[in-house]
Chains A and B, each alone.
Chain A
Amino acid sequence: MKPIPFAIHDILNPARRSFLKTTAAGAALAGAGGLIELTMQDKEAQAFAYEPHYTDDQLTTVVTSCDHNCGSRHMLVAHKKGDVIVRLSTDDGRYQENGAFGKDTVAEPQLRACLRGRSYRSRLYSPERLLYPMMRVGERGSGKFKRVSWDEALDHVAKKMIELKGKYGPTAILDQAYAGTSYGVLHKSDQIEGLLARFLGLFGCRTNSWSVPSYQGTTFSSRMTFGTIEDGNEDDAFADTKLMIMWGWNPAYTFHGGNTFYYLRLAKQKGCKFVVVDPQYTDSAAAYDAWWIPIRPNTDAAMLAGMAHYIFANNLQDQKFIDKFVQGMDAGTMPDWAKGQESFKDYILGTNDKTPKTPEWAEKICGVPAADIRKLADMYARTKPAALKASWSPGRNAYGEQYNRMAAAVQAMTGNIGILGGCAEGVGKGWHAESVAYPYDENANLWWASIKSDRWAHCVLNYPNVKREEIGCWPRDDELDGKIPNIKGIFWHGSDWFNQLTNINKEIEAIKKLELVVCSDSTITPSGLWADVLLPIATHFERHDVALPWYKGHYYIHRPKVIEPMGESKTDLQVYTELAWRLEALDPSLKGLGKRYNPRAERNYFDNPDAVDEAYLVAWWKKVQDHQGVKMGWEEFKRRGVYKFTFDKPLVAFRDQIEEGVPFETPSGKIEIFSTTLAQVKDWTKTQYGYPIPAIPKWIEPFEWLGDVAKVKDHPFHLITPHPRWRTHSIFHNIPWLRETYQQEVTLNAADAKKLGIVTGDIVEVWNDRGTVVVPAYVTERCMPGVAVLFEGSWMDLDKKGVDRSGNPDFLTKDEPSPAGAFAYNTILANIRKSTLEHRPGWDSVATSRSYIFRRDS
């Protein structure tokens, strides 16, 4: 492990420290039966020293949290010596109000960090850490940079911004911020309303990327059906279900909420039965001892339709619930203005199209035996309460929104919404946090064009010969409506989108046409290598903030500045504030921009942000106290480091709607299986969707899938690209600790592999018309035949022929989203063959995976 790049001398209580060292070593010597004169010299604190361990009283303990783009957030406790973090621990129950070591109750469980969180020191002190501003000196993408001063970097960016805006207009700069650098209340990189959005918006030049890669199909479904994305229960509510159907959901890998996986274990102990519908027998299926139903990828809506048919045919639906709360489930619940139009039941029974969506009909599409579809539908309809957790990943498909809408229909027809132990997820956003401490106002999300996020390359390559529906132009009510943006620059903020969006080879063509690419990050990412300017952002260990989980979990974790910013890194708020001041100086029309962007800051904020950041956070905490009834003061919160909310009963989405008759947030006030909004669209090309979407959920044949006989001939495998456990998207790919525990590999069914002569560990090429990647194979009985699995997010590593040696599946994905905006990450046909090419697991050769050593066939 390379030493950290600066030396720290700590002289805190040296006498006591050497005494402790002596006794520790002395114990060892006594065991060996000898006595040796001890002459140990006190050493500098090293981040990765093995021995001797510092004891608690030699270290400063600081509560903080993890901080990356994941649906959860856990506590990290930094133990530091001087300005070096020498180890991390996690929540042990001591830090909260009335805490004690080991306290771990159902209401206030410990917030224990996962393997990614636990590896944070490796990331903080990694060789890929971006410590200084850099500017490109070679060709774009060649990875050749020189170190420059902040002055040089920021002046260059400011000048180019003004030039682009003047030459190409207010759509010239594409905002591709994402959640990678930070997710805190003050320092927030985010796609929609993060710090970059407001900065570019106030500057007056911004094309927005509106579709969210993770879950756009699901978001669409939740909004259309329930009128909100807050359709999630808090995770403790899962402990009260009797049947948990995990549809494409693998909480052993991806986390929403601090303890979802643990509450599910408690449910299992109380007798809850688990079902996993997934092409893979996942670790969740194993841990919860689930009934595994393997399903062909991208056919989930068909299976759900088959279940709905069984429920209607046997009259098992909760008709009282439907009549009271649902629009368009059947003819009787259609709104007056749409009487006679096709209801959901009409579609399922085949009233109009003469195709009843029977379990047999579904079997032909999804590959699940009709008997199993019936059995599952029967279980779900008769078990009360039962949770059908329709996760995001089957929604990351062509027509993925249809799957999520169909699942919502099945949830609604069984009356499992708004009750403890049921589930309406969906997006699954639960508890509503106070999430914004940074300057926030009507400028938070200004844009002059807004497109589907994975269509930018298509737009750049074909400009101006692009139709608005091809790129999903969001409508406007001014003269810019439908105007194709003339994109000439990209800003990445906490975003590795170049590595993470679809069809990377097309992106590579497009990026060559740009005039400015700026990347703000704490790590040199694969995207960063394609930038012109790299701006080093301080990590969450190096700035003051408060952390919160995204989707579930009711707690705040304080994040003080644990160590000073490394190298010359600055916080993102510092960088955009400083840029705003410099833009103002260059362009008189931008007068006051610096102050407008960061009202509390003065011109010296770039050098010392501490007091201003504290002031923002104090004001935010006041909101927490006022809006959320928190009595704890800011100083006590800072001292403890964590605040955990407790509730009388578990939070369940839509409880008020069901128990108290509060209307749903849809146009009709009901759960809209028949969507008022969609039914009234006249011209789809004028919508952000571009192409028609049915008003009721339907099975629609995807762009490519195993049922497409012609395409399957040359590309016999359906490739899915789920989230790995040892990375969060592409974050942590460079961490040797994590890379040695799991490896980037393509999972194949044993029978399929045998036909190809492939065994575990063989290097294979996975390819289609869009690209080729090289990875080792993992051959297993745990994968459905015809399906291959390749985890997203490995750091692209192209050879001279344009073959990706890292195994990044986005060289194979299609950059054509579903009409509702869902990325088609799991809609891929591909072929596989043995290869003599070398797989490169990482940019360095520090750690190669040994995970196969720890695998055993029983």
Chain B
Amino acid sequence: MTKKLDMKEVKVALQRKVAQTYEPVKPAKQLGFIHHNVDCIGCRACEIACKDKNGLPPGPRFRRVMYVEGGQYPDVFAYKVNMSCNHCAEPACLPTCPTGAIWKREADGIVDIDSTLCIGCRRCEAACPYGAPQWNPKEQIVQKCNMCVDEIEAGRKPYCVMACMMRVLDIGPIQGLWDGSHKTTAIGPNDKPVRQVKNFADPELTRPSIAFVPHSKGKV
């Protein structure tokens, strides 16, 4: 491409874009996930519990346990970063949806999707910096984690959390998880939760509701 961008035009375009940005829902309480990156054995029971609960075919993975490794033999390290949907304060997926299938719940800030309204345009998938919306090739629609709202409404926790064999994955009010005031087995006696780990998109983009206990090599 040889054409030089006219920065003035870009500015106008950006302003137009900002003007279109919607006012995100400010929930009464924001729920979020927490994951201990070190103590997680990476077994992916959470992933399979989620697939089973949601009846997913091979392909879409609402929850994804990422394996990170580094160092040089024999001084190596490895840890896991476990994410599904981060139920962001300013979800990037939501405004991209042309049919209004995605919305943020006022009570708990969960970003839910009604896949019956999905036309499969996949814009949300492209917009999300965390890869949360998942394409279902069989149904030709996008689906994603809704933190098992049905379980939460029944006073329980999502299937992934209840599946965790190491008790390193949990949910809670995100502010309490970040400042350590919310009691959870995900945080050990000497652990300090953080909002961001290495290789993780800048939280300022969408303000994701997730906390991690990081590996020493995963801190930013």
Contacts and interface: CB of A to CB of B under 8 A. Distances in A.
Interface stretch (B2-10, B14-22, B55-63, B85-93): B55-63
A261 interface: yes
A49 interface: yes
A527 interface: no
Interface string A278-295: 000101111101001010
A55 B150 contact: yes
A505 interface: no
A785 B73 contact: yes
A856 B199 contact: yes
A31 interface: yes
Contact of A89 (B51, B116, B162): B162
A505 B62 CA distance: 42
Contacts of A783: 73
Given A25-B116, A48-B57, A781 B71 contact: yes
A725 interface: yes
Given A286-B77, A855-B67, A118 B52 contact: yes
B41 to A, nearest CB: 4
Interface string A777-797: 000111111000000000000
Contacts of A114: 43, 45, 165
A114 B52 CA distance: 13
Contacts of A262: 165-167
B182 interface: no
A104 B53 CA distance: 22
Contacts of B185: 104
Contacts of B112: 28, 31
Q: How extensive is the interface on chain A, given as a class? A: 35 or more
Contacts of B55: 1, 46-50, 86-87
Contacts of B109: none
Nearest to B51: A737
Contact of B58 (A112, A736, A851): A736
A32 B52 contact: no
Contact of B78 (A268, A281, A749): A281
B4 to A, nearest CB: 36
B194 interface: no
A265 B58 contact: no
B163 A118 contact: yes
B96 interface: no
Contacts of B138: 1
Interface string A256-287: 00010110010011000000000001011111
Given A121-B52, A122-B52, 19 more contacts: A1-B138, A48-B55, A48-B57, A49-B55, A50-B56, A50-B115, A112-B162, A115-B48, A119-B51, A251-B41, A252-B41, A262-B166, A283-B78, A286-B42, A749-B73, A782-B69, A782-B78, A847-B59, A858-B198
Interface of A: 1, 25, 28-29, 31-34, 46-51, 53, 55-56, 86-90, 92, 101, 104, 112-115, 117-119, 121-122, 251-252, 259, 261-262, 265, 268-269, 281, 283-287, 289, 292, 294, 725, 736-742, 749-751, 780-785, 846-847, 851, 854-858
29 contacts: A1-B55, A1-B138, A25-B114, A29-B114, A33-B100, A47-B55, A50-B55, A50-B136, A88-B49, A92-B162, A101-B155, A115-B48, A252-B42, A269-B188, A286-B42, A286-B79, A287-B38, A287-B41, A294-B73, A737-B48, A739-B58, A781-B72, A782-B69, A782-B73, A782-B76, A854-B64, A855-B66, A855-B69, A858-B71
